Amino acid sequence: MVLISAQPYDYPVTDNSHCALLIIDMQRDFLEPGGFGDILGNDVSQLRVMVPTLKRLLELFRGKQWPVIHTLECHRPDLSDCPQSKYNRSRGELGIGDVGPMGRILIAGELGNAIIPELAPIAGEVVIEKPGKGAFCNTNLESILRQSNITHLLIAGVTTEVCVQTTMREANDRGFECLLIEDATESYFPEFKQATLEMVRAQGGIVGWTGSSADIIAAMSAHSSPQPVVNIGCE
């Protein structure tokens, strides 16, 4: 049993729990100029501050051989998985599918759609391509988690109030015990990040917990293997 110091109360990881690190959308499209976040009018440099913190968490999970899941917000080149509503509303000078400085915006396989090099997935880690803001919408994420007996999700990534929060709410409704890592998530709007942290842990943790990377690393490092190793990835 591991207890991670968290809000609204300590987050228990029991000996029967299986815990995964779920990293949402750490893509060039959101963190670099010329990508999707930029064309929506945001200052993308604000998101980079948490990259070293997230890398430390990733190294902990990799060192322990615990499961890591990355997501990518992206669409097929023919846009057949992009609802007209999303296409219409997600536009600046350019929009989804248009050619930008890093290739076609928010399209699978393009340079801008890749995870930033510092956090690039390695063999054995799952990468979920998702057309929505939530990672459970039109993906096989839930079946992968169920097949691997994963019960607990430590959630990081961008942006806090959009894809991260949507995914956390979807996971919570499906019965997963979710902890949002406070200093491993960022928003283009600091006040939206703060509001998200407060709303997920309000009312006794109605969506889950929030906790710091330091408290997670301290609690989880102390245990050589608080959970059976599960390899959910594809080589």
Rounded to the nearest whole angstrom, what is the least distance from the CB of residue 228 to ligand TIU in the complex? 31
Q: Which of 74, 82, 163, 178 is catalytic?
A: 163
Q: Which of 25, 29, 38, 215 is catalytic?
A: 25
Tell me whether residue 86 is one of the annotated catalytic residues: no
Structure tokens at 102: 């890093």
Which range binds ligand TIU by CB under 6 A, 60-68, 74-82, 155-163, 200-208? 155-163
Evaluate the omega torsion of the peptide bond into residue 8 and state whether it is cis, within 30 degrees of 0.
yes
CA-based angle 139:85:138, to the nearest 5?
5
Instruction: Concatenate the DSSP letters of all residues of 13-32 into one string.
Output: E-TT--EEEEEE--BHHHHS
Q: Which of 86, 130, 133, 193 is catalytic?
A: 130
* Binding of residue 186 to ligand TIU (CB under 6 A): no
191: phi then psi, degrees, rounded to nearest 5: -70, -30
In the bound state with ligand TIU, the residue whose beta carbon lies nearer, of 66 and 188, is 188
Candidates 31, 102, 162, 179; binder of ligand TIU (CB under 6 A) is 162
Residues 103-142 that bind ligand TIU (CB under 6 A): 133
CA distance 140 to 92: 31
Tell me whether residue 43 is one of the annotated catalytic residues: no
Residues 47-106 that bind ligand TIU (CB under 6 A): 73
CA distance 120 to 116: 6
CA distance readout (Å), 128 to 42, 74, 76, 198: 25, 10, 13, 27
In the bound state with ligand TIU, the residue whose beta carbon lies nearer, of 25 and 125, is 25
CA distance 46 to 42: 9
Contact 150, 229 (CB under 8 A): no
Candidates 23, 163, 184, 197; binder of ligand TIU (CB under 6 A) is 163
Candidates 25, 129, 170, 177; binder of ligand TIU (CB under 6 A) is 25
CA distance 189 to 187: 5
Structure tokens at 174: 């499906």
Rounded to the nearest whole angstrom, what is the least distance from the CB of residue 73 to ligand TIU in the complex? 5
Which range binds ligand TIU by CB under 6 A, 5-13, 107-115, 147-155, 158-166? 158-166
Q: Which residues would be at the binding site for ligand TIU (CB under 6 A)?
A: 25, 30, 40, 73, 133, 158-159, 162-163, 188
Which residues are tagged catalytic? 25, 130, 163
